[in-house]
Chains A and B, each alone.
Chain A
């Protein structure tokens, strides 16, 4: 496709369950980012992948959060034992030159 895609678009889960969020970046883009947008807030950086380098995980809020990027393309963000404060929109972006292109996001609701 022409842009960054994310799935699912919406996810409702119960507290304590694990969730996986998927990001398909734009083909050929060099880097991939995950951000979190809580209600009424700006975006909070979570994790960054660049090529084969070790990811920068400095933004992950707890060890319940992890992410991987397979084959330098698709990325999965996993949240284990979800908590209500994890409810947010999770946005993925891929990078070309100095510009980040964002996907539509996954809205996660933890009941």
Chain B
């Protein structure tokens, strides 16, 4: 079945690295995504990784994928106060409607 889980809350100090974790249950997912949602705003796509990749780096963002453990992580280097938001991981399957299955989101709080 489809199930994506995330921890609810993470607090870090400005300048530190943040690591947001996500686990999923369906190994047939083809793409995994990270979205950012700021208060009162819609979802902003941050990055995504194809399921045959282990790692993807994009400026301050690093995505790691462990398919064996069905574990996805997002590392934000040099976290800034502007990074405070809710981060959602989501998976997509290659068949059917291709809707995304989302986790419940991790609220990142960056302390100055």
Contacts and interface: CB of A to CB of B under 8 A. Distances in A.
**A, B in one complex:** yes
A99 B48 contact: yes
A28 interface: no
A59 B2 CA distance: 14
Contacts, number: 57
A103 B42 CA distance: 6
Interface residues of B, number: 24
B94 to A, nearest CB: 9
> Which of B33, B42, B96, B105 has the most A CB atoms < 10 Å from its CB?
B42
B42 A42 contact: no
> Which of A58, A98, A99, A103 has the most B CB atoms < 10 Å from its CB?
A98
A66 B58 CA distance: 39
B42 A41 contact: no
Contacts of A48: 97-99
Interface of B: 4, 30-31, 33, 35, 41-45, 48, 88, 90, 92, 96-105
27 contacts: A31-B98, A33-B99, A35-B102, A40-B104, A41-B104, A42-B4, A42-B88, A42-B103, A42-B104, A42-B105, A43-B102, A45-B97, A45-B99, A58-B97, A91-B43, A95-B98, A98-B92, A98-B98, A99-B45, A99-B48, A100-B45, A101-B45, A102-B42, A102-B44, A103-B42, A104-B41, A104-B42
Given A45-B99, A101-B45, 18 more contacts: A35-B102, A41-B105, A42-B88, A43-B88, A48-B97, A48-B98, A48-B99, A56-B99, A58-B97, A91-B42, A91-B43, A98-B31, A98-B48, A98-B92, A99-B45, A102-B44, A104-B41, A105-B42
